[in-house]
Amino acid sequence: MSIALKQVFNKDRTFRPKRKFEPGTQRFELHKRAQASLNSGVDLRGAVQVPHGEDLNDWVAVHVVDFFNRINLIYGTVCEFCTEKSCPVMSGGPRYEYRWQDEHKYKRPTPLPAPVYMSLLMDWIEVQINNEDIFPTSVGIPFPKNFIQICKKILCRLFRVFVHVYIHHFDRMIQMGAEAHVNTCYKHFYYFCTELNLIDRKELEPLKEMTSRMCH
């Protein structure tokens, strides 16, 4: 990775502070293990499998938080080029348009400019991963019964960030020399979600051709 690129990724270009795992907790150890296997350049397909004896919810929690931080960072590097003028709808090419819906202001699916959608999305995820009732940080506090369903929805929406960045802003990524970094993050995300059945296949359609070349 070039020095300029390192500075971009190290600068806090994210919209919001990263959620950290407390040292000494089991989840911190899992986070370290997941990071170590990535850094050693191991086969990503193998790195996403739940380690023997580990709890599925813990493994998913660690990865959801990590993917949120990393995808947030990736979008942060192109956000100044993703404007209401350049991207008046949140889309992935002409065939795919994503509408925003939540429990608050947007009760019905609403078309929004991409940067507005992204900001709402990152806020929506951040509220959940910082909610102790959903992502408990203390050992011994159980995850909610619908935890995997919650994570599926988070991951489905995070995938849309990849769709938009790849289809509308990838030339910018190439200019910055960030292509390999983004591709690795995407492959890790794709293998994780498909290995553990956390994303609906139809959601993957917009990047199907690219994925078949990259993740064969």
- Whole-angstrom distance, CA of residue 197 vs CA of residue 209: 20
Return the CATH fold of 61-215: Butyryl-CoA Dehydrogenase, subunit A; domain 3 (1.20.140)
Which band of pLDDT confidence, cut at 50, 70 and 90, is reported for residue 17? very low
Helix residue ranges per DSSP H, the chain: 3-10, 26-39, 44-47, 56-78, 114-129, 147-168, 170-175, 179-195, 208-214
CB 73 within 8 A of CB 14: yes
**Average pLDDT value over all residues in the chain:** 83
Per-residue pLDDT reduced to its tens digit, 161-199? 999 999 999 999 888 888 888 998 999 999 999 999 999
Task: Consult the annotation and say whether 193 binds a ligand.
Answer: no
CB 45 within 8 A of CB 55: no
Per-residue pLDDT reduced to its tens digit, 132-162? 999 988 777 899 999 999 999 999 999 999 9
- Whole-angstrom distance, CA of residue 174 vs CA of residue 205: 23
Per-residue pLDDT reduced to its tens digit, 41-55? 567 888 888 888 888
Task: Consult the annotation and say whether 79 binds a ligand.
Answer: no
Task: Consult the annotation and say whether 156 binds a ligand.
Answer: no
- 110 — phi, psi (to 5°)? -125, 130
